[in-house]
Chain A
C-alpha cells in the first residue's frame, strides 16, 4: 500500500492541472462561440489572435 503515497499526490495533481486548464479555458472566452469554433477548426486561414480580444476583458459573453 506504500505506493499510495505516490499515487494519491499524482492523481490529485493531475486533477488540479485539469481544473486549472478548465478555468483557463473559461477565462479566455473559449465557450463564447462554440459554433464559430467548430467552423474555424476547418479553416486554413492563419489567425494571429485565435482567442478574441473581447473574451479577455470580459465585456462579451
Chain B
C-alpha cells in the first residue's frame, strides 16, 4: 500500500478496495503517534483478506474492511506488531448522529456571511451615504437573508416547538430578535426607512449562539460515544453446544432451550438452569456478597454471575433482553429519566430571562411610539433592545465552562456522562460507597500466618483451582517462598473444596462442614496435621480506597458504606478505612431507602457503586459514580464513570465540579452586568448597530475567556 516515489503514486489504486462501511472496528487503547498509525495499518493491510484499514487516532480506533476475517485474527496480527487491540461491537456503538456536522456547517455559513457583512458594514459605519450605503445594504441583504434563513433554523424550530406548547424558552426571544432585525433591515435596504441596518447583528447573534450550542452538543456527544464504546467493548459471547460440538456465538444470538457450556471463570451470558456440573458461583455483581455460593444441577443461574470452579452445562431459559439483568437495567433507565427533572443553572437563568426580554422590548416600542409617534424609530430601538439583551453571553456561559471542565476530567480518565452532572456533583455533602467490587478488588488474600508445611499442602491442593481463595493461597505461598507440596490424585469438588493424597494420606481443603470442622466464614485444611487448620481470607482493598477516604474526610464530606455483603465483612472493611457509618446485608431496595431517607433530611447523596445491586441506588441518588470495571447497567445509571485512575479521582471530580459551578455563576454574572449596562442605553435609544456588535462580541469573548482561564 505504500509508495515512496511520485511515479508509484500515479499507479492505479490496488484492486479489492470496494466502497462500503467497515466490517470490523477495533479499539487501540495504546496508540499515540504517526508511527503507530503506520505500523497498525501496515500490519492489517498485510493480512490476506483485508480490503482496507484506516486508523482514527482521535478516537483510538481502526476501521477494517474485511468481510471474510474474524476479529481475533486481526487482534493477533496487531499483537505480533506490538499493539494491544480490543474488539468493539459495531452494533453497540450505534450510528453517529449527523447533528454535530450539521451544526458545524451552520456555524460556517453564518461565520462567512458575518465576515462579509461586517466588511460592508464597516464602510457604512465609517460614513458611506446615499447610493453607496444603499448598495451596501442591498448586498448585505443578499448575503444575510439566506444565511440567517439557513443557519438560524435550530433556533426557529425550537422556538416554534415551545410556542406550540404555549411555553417560552430562550429560543423565542432569539428567533424574534433575529427575524425582526433582518426584516427591519431589509425594509431599510429597499428604502422604506432610512434607519441603520442590523444585518451584522442578526448574523453575529446566530453565529455566537450556534457556537454555544455546538459546544453543548459536542460535550454530550463525546460522553455518549465514550459510554457506547465502553458497552461495545464487552460484547458478551457464549459457547453453544451444537450437535456435540461447541461454537462461540454472540450472547444476543442465544435462544431459550439452547445448551451452553461454561468454563471456570466465565460470566454467564443468559439466565438458565444448570443441567450438569457443580461449581461455585460468584454472585457479587448481583448481591454484593463477596463469598461464592455453591451450585449444582437444577439450580437456577442468572446472567452476570461468574462460574468459578467447575465446568457447567446450562440450559438457557431467558436470553438477551429478557434476562433479569437486562430487565433491571431497563427499569433503571426509566428511573433515570426522573433525574432529568433537575433544572440546571442555564435553564433557570433562561426561565427568568426570556419573559424579561420580551417585556423590555415591548415596553421600549410602546414608550417610543407614544413619545415620538414615529413607528420606524420605535421599531428600530425595540430591535436594538432585543438584539442587545439577546443572550449570546448567557448562551455560552454554561456550555463553555462545562466543556472545559469535562475535557479536563476526561484527560484524567474520568468520563462525565450527564449534562447536569457537574452542577449536581457540586451540591453533594454525603458520599455513600458500595463495598464489593467498588472498594475491594475481587481477589482476597490470606490474613493470618500459618505453619509453612500446612501452607505448602494447601498451596499444592489449590494450585489447579481458579476459586478466589485457592488463588489467594497460591499467592500467599509464593510471597513467603513456600514451595507447594506434591499432591497426588487432586480432585476438585465444586461447591465443597479440593481433595487429594499427600504422602499417602488424604487431605482436604474446603468448606468447614465438608472437611469435618465447624461451619463458618473461613476455609479449612484437614488431614495435614492433627486437627483442621483454618485459612482466613480478607478482601483486598482497591489501591485508591485509602486515599479516597482521606481526601473525602479532609474535604469535609460525610461518608457511609452500604453493602449487600455479610455484616462481618463490611465492618472489617469499614474499620480498615476508618468509616464510622457502615451497614451490611443491605438489599437493593434497602440502599434506595437509605438514600431517600437521607434526601428527605436534606442531604445530597453521591452514590459510588459497581454492581447490579447498586444500579437502583445509583439512579436514586442525587449524583452517582461508577468505576470503569462496573457492570454495564451500573455504568449506564451513573453520571460519571471512572475510566482509569481509579477511586482516587473522586475528590478531584468533586473539586472540579465545585469550581466549574463557581465559574458558571461568574459567567452568568458577567452576562447580567453587561445587560445591566447595555439595556438602559439601548432603551434610551443610544445603541447603534456598531455598538451592539462590539458589546455582543465583547461579552461573548469575556465569558469564553473566563471559562478557559486556568484555576491557578
Contact = CB atoms under 8 A, between A and B. Distances in A.
Interface of A: 1, 4, 8, 11-12, 15-16, 18-19, 22-23, 26-27, 31-36, 38-40, 42-46, 48-49, 52-54, 57-61
A40 B112 contact: no
Contacts of B97: 61
B331 interface: no
Contacts of A8: 120, 135, 139
Nearest to B5: A46
B108 A57 contact: no
Interface of B: 1-4, 8-9, 13-14, 17, 19-22, 33-34, 37-38, 52, 54-59, 63, 65, 95-98, 100-101, 104-105, 108-109, 112, 115-116, 119-120, 132, 135, 139, 143, 221, 225
A38 to B, nearest CB: 8
A39 B105 contact: no
B105 A26 contact: yes
Given A11-B119, A42-B34, A36 B58 contact: yes
Contacts of A49: 13, 17, 52, 54
Contact of B101 (A11, A26, A42, A53): A26
A61 B115 contact: no
Given A44-B4, A52-B63, A59-B21, 17 more contacts: A15-B112, A15-B115, A23-B109, A26-B104, A34-B58, A36-B58, A39-B34, A39-B37, A40-B37, A45-B3, A46-B3, A49-B17, A53-B21, A54-B22, A54-B54, A60-B63, A61-B225
Given A1-B132, A26-B108, A61 B116 contact: no
B37 A61 contact: no
27 contacts: A4-B135, A12-B116, A12-B143, A15-B112, A16-B112, A19-B109, A22-B108, A22-B112, A23-B108, A26-B101, A31-B104, A36-B57, A39-B33, A39-B34, A39-B37, A43-B38, A44-B4, A45-B4, A46-B4, A46-B8, A48-B13, A48-B14, A49-B52, A52-B54, A52-B56, A53-B54, A59-B96
B63 A18 contact: no
Given A23-B105, A45-B2, A11 B116 contact: yes
A26 to B, nearest CB: 5
| Residue with the highest number of chain B CB atoms closer than 10 Å, among A4, A49, A58, A60 | A60
A59 B21 CA distance: 8
A53 B19 contact: yes
Contact of B52 (A33, A39, A40, A53): A53
Contact of A32 (B4, B56, B105): B56
A16 to B, nearest CB: 8
A36 B485 CA distance: 55
Nearest to B147: A19
Nearest to A59: B21
A10 B147 CA distance: 19
Nearest to A56: B19
B38 A45 contact: yes
| Residue with the highest number of chain A CB atoms closer than 10 Å, among B9, B19, B58 | B58
Contacts of A43: 34, 37-38
7 tightest CB-CB pairs across the interface, nearest first? A39-B34, A36-B57, A61-B96, A45-B2, A48-B13, A46-B3, A19-B112
Nearest to A5: B135
A46 B108 CA distance: 31
A57 B17 CA distance: 15
A4 B128 CA distance: 13
Nearest to A52: B54
B628 to A, nearest CB: 22
Nearest to B222: A61
A27 B54 CA distance: 18
Contact of A18 (B57, B95, B104, B112): B112
A17 to B, nearest CB: 10
A35 B14 contact: no
Nearest to B13: A48
Nearest to A44: B4
Nearest to B99: A61
A28 to B, nearest CB: 11
| Residue with the highest number of chain A CB atoms closer than 10 Å, among B65, B101, B132, B225 | B101
A48 B132 contact: no
B30 to A, nearest CB: 14
Contacts of A19: 108-109, 112
A53 B109 CA distance: 25
B96 A40 contact: no
B56 A33 contact: yes
Nearest to B9: A46
| Residue with the highest number of chain B CB atoms closer than 10 Å, among A18, A34, A45 | A45
A58 B21 contact: no
Contacts of A42: 34
Contact of B63 (A31, A45, A54): A54
Contacts of B221: 61
A25 B139 CA distance: 27
Nearest to A9: B139
A58 B98 contact: yes
Nearest to A34: B58
B95 A59 contact: yes
Contacts of B17: 48-49
A22 to B, nearest CB: 5
| Residue with the highest number of chain A CB atoms closer than 10 Å, among B1, B17, B57 | B57
B145 to A, nearest CB: 14
Nearest to B120: A8
Contacts of B109: 19, 23
Contacts of A16: 112
Contacts of A33: 56-59
Nearest to B63: A54
A35 to B, nearest CB: 4
Contacts of A60: 56, 63, 96
Contacts of B54: 49, 52-54
Nearest to B65: A53
A15 to B, nearest CB: 5
Given A18-B112, A19-B108, A54-B21, A46 B2 contact: yes
Contacts of A54: 21-22, 54, 63
Contacts of A35: 57-58
Contacts of B55: 36
A35 B34 CA distance: 9
Given A46-B9, A57-B21, A4 B132 contact: yes
A40 B34 contact: yes
A45 B54 CA distance: 13
B54 to A, nearest CB: 5
Given A15-B112, A39-B33, A40-B37, A61 B57 contact: no
Contacts of B52: 49, 53
Contacts of A31: 104
A16 B108 CA distance: 11
A18 B104 CA distance: 15
A53 B54 CA distance: 9
